[in-house]
Amino acid sequence: MTGPGPVWLVQAFGSFLMFGPGKARYDDHILAVCEAAGLTGTLADQAAATVFTFVLGNALGPAAAASLSRKLSGDANAEQLMRDSMAEAREIASQFPRLRARLETPAAAYAAAPDDTFAFCLQALLDGLDAQLAPHEHRAWRVGE
């Protein structure tokens, strides 16, 4: 993964109820950010859910890798199993021209993406939310604000 991500959160989603003071604090804060940007009511709720889902989605790859690592930790053949699986994945990818062209790049690594992909995608998402504002309320979002 190329950005921050609560890997533990993805793993916890299937095991625990995910509401408490910390989640309420986060929800209240993201709604305040949305409202300060000019989003209100349902649009603020949708924007908050969109950002949360985006971050959660970015944590899926590392969460899957952590889960697989735990699963294979007791297997003496784990490294060979991973090498074989990656070789099979490369063989399948080589049958598709756009994937074949990327096989020798960092993007070919398991759960990899180019540097700054998280920030790029988050900025694109925020730009899309910004487009939802009425023209007189237009405020550009910037990642890192």
Q: Stretch 11-39: mean pLDDT, rounded?
A: 82
pLDDT, averaged across the chain: 79
Q: Give pLDDT, residue 141.
A: 59
Residue 89 has pLDDT above 90, yes or no: no
Confidence band for 50, pLDDT divided at 50, 70 and 90: very high
Nearest to 4 by CA among 61, 73, 55, 68: 55
Residue 92 has pLDDT above 90, yes or no: yes
* Residue 27 CB contacts under 8 Å (≥ 6 apart), including other chains: 48
Residue 136 has pLDDT above 90, yes or no: no
The whole-model pTM stands at 0.65
Determine contact, residues 90/103, Cβ cutoff 8 Å.
yes
Q: Give pLDDT, residue 75.
A: 72
Residue 103 has pLDDT above 90, yes or no: no
Tokens of 127: 């730009």
Q: Stretch 15-37: mean pLDDT, rounded?
A: 85
For a pLDDT cut of 70, what percent of the chain falls above it?
A: 77
Tokens of 74: 């007791």
Task: Give the other-Cβ count within 10 Å of 57's Cβ.
Answer: 12
Q: What are phi and psi of 130, to 5 degrees?
A: -60, -35
Task: Give the other-Cβ count within 10 Å of 27's Cβ.
Answer: 15
